Amino acid sequence: MDDLSGKVAVVTGGAAGIGRGIVGALLDEGCRVVIADIEAPVLAAAVAELAGRGDVRGVVTDVSDPVSVAALADQVYDELGACNVLWNNAGVTSGGGGNPWEQEPNDWRWCFGVNVFGTANGVLEFVPRMIAGDEPGVVVTTSSGDGGIAPVPYASVYASSKAAISCFTEALAHQFIAQKTKLRAAVFYPSGGLLETGLWEAQRNRPAELARVRPRPPAPGTTFAEFREALAAAGRPTDIVDLDELGRFAVQGVKDGRFVISHNLDAAGALLHARADAIADGQLPPSALEGLT
């Protein structure tokens, strides 16, 4: 997959934020891109604005709904005949309280429905068709260092969902090799600085039937501004990532054949070594917050 020109790519949650940066980078590589997103007006605007950069189209999709994802796959194969890059990027935060015991069942249903079941639905619908197409391809999961590497304790549900899809993608990669397919998998950890994306306002798309029953308890860093202020007060870096540049970095990682696509892997490795040592000693592993100190 070092040459993406003419390949078909599907990016979920691609109308804004990190996903849009990925879409732009894929278009610049000559891909034909299908953006799947739940926000119809934002999706239409993104397609219109990106049309000058290549072959791009949008399909309104709810990744948590297997019927919606099946319709997406049907449309992609009917119109373009293939999918070479499946980028499971759509994600939300739970919107629950800062403490694990303050989360509600609907926080779990909402977050896991999009992050975990959304990833699963994409794989279930697209991968069998990708294997049958007998062309080289890659399935990329946008995870998070929060959970994928180590949890941030006050984002327990979100971190758990990201740990789940990192583990799932690793299993997927092993099975692609074991079954001698022409596919491979990769996990992308957005990184390199602060990420000012729509994830902070993900509740705007939360279905009414999955609303919280109780008011949300106060929790630290619930908005991007609060989070950035807290980092500044602690003397930590507050540089904001250029999402277009991050998209180019992620796509280059795919072209380079990397399984883990991330900045700062040395620091992640050091934290994972510390976690492994604690586990081997039967102790509580350090969290992602301790890895930042």
Report residue 36: phi and psi, to 5°: -110, 120
Query: Which of 77, 154, 158, 189 is flagged as catalytic?
Result: 158
CA atoms within 13 A on the CB side of 264: 14
Burial class (CB in 10 A: 0-12, 13-18, 19+), 96: buried
Return the ∠ at Cα 123 (arms to 73 and 256), rounded to 5°: 105
Q: Which helix (H) or strand (E) holds 109?
A: helix 105-133
CA 98 remoteness from chain centre: 22
Give the phi and the psi of residue 121 in degrees, each rounded to 5: -60, -40
The answer to whether residue 189 is catalytic is no
Residue 104 one-letter amino acid: E
Amino acid at position 144, single letter? S
Residue 106 in tokens? 């609907």
- Using a 10 angstrom Cβ sphere, with 0-12 exposed, 13-18 middle and 19 or more buried, the burial of residue 2 is exposed
Q: Which residues are catalytic?
A: 158
